[in-house]
Structure 1
Amino acid sequence: METPALLPLVLLLMVLVQGSAMTHPKPACRYPPSQWCHSLEIAVQCKVLKQCMELRALRPQNAPLVSVSVFYRSLCPAWRRFLVHQLFPTWSMLQDILRVHLVPYSSSKGAPSDWFVPCQPEDPECSVNMIESCVLELSGGSGLEVVSCMETSADVLSAARSCVRLFAPSVSWAAVQSCVSGSRGPLLVNQSISATRALSPSPSHLPWVTINGVSPPEPD
């Protein structure tokens, strides 16, 4: 299968953002990642001038849309690090050409698309997956921002309502609750389970990323 044209660019930017996030503590820069490359002054202050120059040099003109799907478990530490240090900053810089599709995966057994094992109190990840699935469907383009807000909070479940209000004000919390407690939420979770299990090759770990439907080669 042909490698997507912007695959090297997206992968490089994820690596560059991760490196800058780990090297330069957040307090050193008072601007969000979406503004890092907006001006020379901001790039210098946030210590990402080299990365911004490389991004500008590599990015083709009239670039086509790139679809990135991320399959993840909501409370997984690896997913939360990936979201904070790589995915969200990358999307912030390339959101005009980057379409991110989040797929919260639940380990609950749910083969039929119209059946779901209800979340148990001892399984908070199941509840978060359900809420995020509903939020992603209801909030449309704001879904990534809502999920990022939730996942960067100390208590993901408790933060859900305020994150929806802040980043998706057109979505009522009552609508989210209706989705979660009704038939739509379980259906969305089962669709995510089916989509994750249908991946080829099968994911060796989560989070798992595909770009334009293609799984990037894993490092040796």
Structure 2
Amino acid sequence: MTLSGLLAAAYVLVLLCSVRGNSAWSHPAKSCGYPPSQWCRSLEIALECKVQKQCMELAAIRPQEAAPPVSVTLYYESLCPACRLFITQQLFPTWILLRDIMKVTLVPYGNAKELVSGNTTFSCQHGETECRGNMIEACILHLSAHTGFQTIYCMESAADVLGAAQPCLQMHAPTISWLSVDSCVSGGLGRRLMHANAVMTRALSPPHTHVPWVTFNGEFTEEYEDKAMSSLSHLVCQLYKGVKPPACNGVPVRLDRGFC
């Protein structure tokens, strides 16, 4: 339990003890050497402090801690048709429905290569334009963390991905200037962000063979991929260990899949 949780539990326990009147178990034993925040930490402490009944009552009324969200990480390329389809038809709609139980991380790099010599730093599967698109999206994700996904979805759903970057940014992250994104792309920050994405992509185990490549809680399996490509929302609901939200009650809809 977190410190704030312990303090809250102690406060509730003190209230429980104080409102019970003068019964034999209303207050902890005078020999109890533990502060209120520790009274319900273990059965031994509760017994020593003679508050086991109060601790049982507290456990009954304390809300259950939520399960951790499902971590979904997408390794992709900005101009890969299959990646764009997955983002627009699967990942973003699923996140809209299930954002309370899933965490999305986007890694724009994919099948690119980091060069050690020459005038260019990266080589991309769909050409230099895609390299610029990858870097623009990496910079947007870095500069506008909380609205980055919405901006990327806006770009990837447009006919012209790069051309949509500035208006999409203005729509979803109006406090982020396009000048800051442009400076990131043309300066050292953009290259550092892309290098970090390259390192993350090269560290995949097993190594990626195509994009989109999706991991769940850091793990890739062919079974996960098959389910993710056909019905991502159904898979996220299956993997979530907590109480399922109402959106998980729908019937899975199988969609087309593709790779670059």
Task: Answer whether TM exceeds 0.5 for this pair.
Answer: yes
Cα distance in 2 for partners of 1:107, 1:217 equals: 19
Q: Which residue of 2 aligns with 1:176?
A: 181
Q: For this pair of structures, how many residues does the alignment match? A: 158
Letter in 2 for 1:191: A
Q: Which residue of 2 aligns with 1:163?
A: 168
Q: Does 1:104 align with 2:103?
A: no
Q: Which residue of 2 aligns with 1:135?
A: 140
Are the aligned partners of 1:150 and 1:156 in contact in 2 as well (CA < 8 Å)? yes
Provide closer, same or farther for how the CA distance between residues 212 and 164 of structure 1 changes in structure 2, counting only shifts above 3 A: same
Q: Does 1:194 align with 2:199?
A: yes
CA radius of gyration, larger in: 2
Q: Which residue of 2 aligns with 1:90?
A: 94
Cα distance in 2 for partners of 1:111, 1:81 equals: 28
Provide closer, same or farther for how the CA distance between residues 69 and 108 of structure 1 changes in structure 2, counting only shifts above 3 A: closer
Letter in 1 for 2:162: L
Provide closer, same or farther for how the CA distance between residues 68 and 194 of structure 1 changes in structure 2, counting only shifts above 3 A: same
How big is the shift at 1:203?
1.3
Are the aligned partners of 2:115 and 2:122 in contact in 1 as well (CA < 8 Å)? no
Consecutive unaligned residues of structure 2, counting only runs of 5 or more, are: 1-64, 228-260
1:124-153 Cα shifts (integer Å, max 9, x gaps) = 100100100000000102111000000111
1:29-70 Cα shifts (integer Å, max 9, x gaps) = xxxxxxxxxxxxxxxxxxxxxxxxxxxxxxxx9342221110
The 4+ residue runs of structure 1 with deviation greater than 4 A are none
SS in 1 for 2:145: helix
Match runs of 1:118-129 below 5 Å: 123-129=128-134
Cα distance in 1 for partners of 2:197, 2:123 equals: 15
How big is the shift at 1:109?
3.3
Are the aligned partners of 2:111 and 2:210 in contact in 1 as well (CA < 8 Å)? no
User: For 1:151, which of 129, 153, 156 is the aligned residue?
Assistant: 156
How big is the shift at 1:169?
1.3
Match runs of 1:31-70 below 5 Å: 62-70=66-74
Letter in 1 for 2:213: W
User: For 1:80, which of 72, 79, 84 is the aligned residue?
Assistant: 84
1:140-177 Cα shifts (integer Å, max 9, x gaps) = 02111000000111111111000001011121111101
Letter in 2 for 1:197: R
SS in 2 for 1:158: coil
How big is the shift at 1:97?
2.3
The structure whose RCO (Cα within 8 Å, separation 6+) is larger is 1
Root mean square deviation, CA, Å: 2.5
Cα distance in 2 for partners of 1:163, 1:119 equals: 26
